[in-house]
Structures are given as C-alpha cells and as structure tokens.
Amino acid sequence: MKIAIMQPYFFPYIGYFSLIMQSDSFIIFDTPQFMRKGWIERNRIGKLTGGSVYIKVPLNKADLSTNIKDMTIDDSSDWREKIISQLEIYKKRAPFYNKVVELVTDVLKTDTKSIVTLNKVALEKVCEYLGLEKTFKVFSEMNLDIEEPKAADEWALNICKALGVNSYVNAAGGESFFNVNKYKKNNIDLFFINQPIEEYKQFDDVFEPGLSIVDVMMFNSPEKIIEMLSKGSLKKLIEE
C-alpha cells in the first residue's frame, strides 16, 4: 500500500491531486505549526488580463505557535459570497463554469469553523467530481502511537511504521530533504511524483501555471483532467 501525507490546502493546484491519485491512502497532516501566507487558507485563480488573484478564507488571529488543526474560520465578513463573486469572471469564458461554481458553493456551505474540515470537504468534493474514489484521514483524529521524530523527514517514516505500510509517496521535489537510507532500513520504499503540468486554454494567450484546481476545472472536463493526471508517474528514490 502506498500512502501520501500532506497538509490540508485550500482547493490546491493539480499536482496535489496527482499525489492523491498515485496513493492508496491519503492522510491530511494537520498537526504542524500553521504558516502564514501559505496555501492552507488561500489559493490562486486566473484574471481576465492575465496573471492571478487570490481567493481566501479569513482565519481568526492566533499565536504563531498555533497548529493547523486549531486554526478557525473568521465569519465576521461574508467571505463565501466574495469568493463566489470572484469566480464570476469565468462565467462567459469557461465552459464548465456552472458545474464548478455549484461545487465550490456546496463546499463553502459546510457548517464548520475548522479550516481543516473545510479543506477536507473540498478535496472530497473535487475527487467525487473527477470520479476519483478516494478517502481522506485526518492525522490528529487517527490517534496513532508513533515514535517521536528526531528529524523532519521522520514524520512520514514513523507514520508509515505505525501503519505497517511499505511505500510512501511524496510531492514533486524535496528528494534531498529525505534520508532514503532511513526508509530502506525499515523496508519502506520512497517515491516522488513526476507530474508534467499540461497547458490549457485560460483567459489569456499566456498560460499561468500552478493555479488552483478551480481554474483547471473551469476550463477542462473531468475526463480531460484525469487524462492530465494519468500522465504523472512515480520516481523511486534509490539507496544512497
């Protein structure tokens, strides 16, 4: 069994879904410290004039040491309506506008104060829309008894050991971050995603890569997106 472990991003880019597709089990890693100006509460969509703009879920202020799982949504403004309004730029240009707005609206109706829960629902809804039969587990809710990590690359290692799995799949890049020998010693194969980012027609002639899956869904059918994801492959990290 191949597992993947990632922090809960808000409607992440297509590479995140490649990680989901290439794994048998996906764990939402919600115990690290929340990092501001990351991808937990925001992502980018396209602009009519080219480039990108952020869609964002406002969060309540918290100490710098607060974990992701303890971050809560600030409902003092009508941020849901703002996001839907921002998506109106796609209305006359994107062939799948109605279906995608319906999906996003459904996600934003989730009755929760937790950004982790909201992002989990978003991942589930997108996977359902794409026809990917995937389930997501939240790390803090799994009550796993794992060894105390002595280095940053041992979180995934110790989770794999606790679950008794023999393959770990990581996002593209970061090969130098992991000590492959640690994994090899524990009979765990270490894989990295190799996902080509295929260009598609957006608003402008200049393709803006790395936008939210929302942008990808606006301009591409679920079948086309699965075709894009199917071009991804796994690179096995070899013992040093």
Count of CA atoms in the C-beta half-sphere (13 A) of 54:
12
84's CB contacts (< 8 A; 6+ apart) are 101, 104, 105, 108
To the nearest whole percent, how much of the chain has pLDDT over 70? 99
| Helical ranges in the chain per DSSP H | 14-22, 79-86, 97-108, 115-130, 139-142, 154-163, 180-185, 213-219, 222-230
Percentage helix, strand, coil for the chain under 3-state DSSP, each rounded to 5: 40, 20, 45
Cα radius of gyration rounded to whole Å, the chain: 18
The confidence score (pLDDT) of residue 32 equals 96
Identify the pLDDT of residue 173. 78
CB 46 within 8 A of CB 9: no
Single pTM value for the model: 0.95
Task: Say what angle helices 97-108 and 79-86 make with each other, to 10 degrees.
Answer: 170
> Measured between alpha carbons, how far is 213 from 123 in angstroms, rounded to an integer?
10
Contact between 156 and 174 (Cβ < 8 Å) = no
Give the list of residues 6+ apart from residue 125 with CB closer than 8 angstroms, or none: 103, 106, 107
**214, 99 Cβ separation under 8 angstroms:** no
Question: What pLDDT does residue 177 have?
Answer: 85
Which residue in the block uniquely carries the two structure tokens 């090899």?
184
- 3 pLDDT higher than 70: yes
CA distance 86 to 45: 9
- 30-85, pLDDT tens digit by residue? 999 999 889 999 999 999 988 999 999 999 999 989 999 999 999 999 999 999 99
Task: Examine the pLDDT at 239 and tell me if it is beyond 60.
Answer: no
3-class secondary structure for 189-213?
EEEEEECCCCCCCCCCCCCCCCCEH
Question: Predicted confidence band at 205 (pLDDT cuts at 50, 70, 90)?
Answer: confident
Least confident of 25-29, 72-76, 168-172: 168-172
Is the per-residue pLDDT at 26 higher than 70?
yes
240 or 79, greater pLDDT:
79
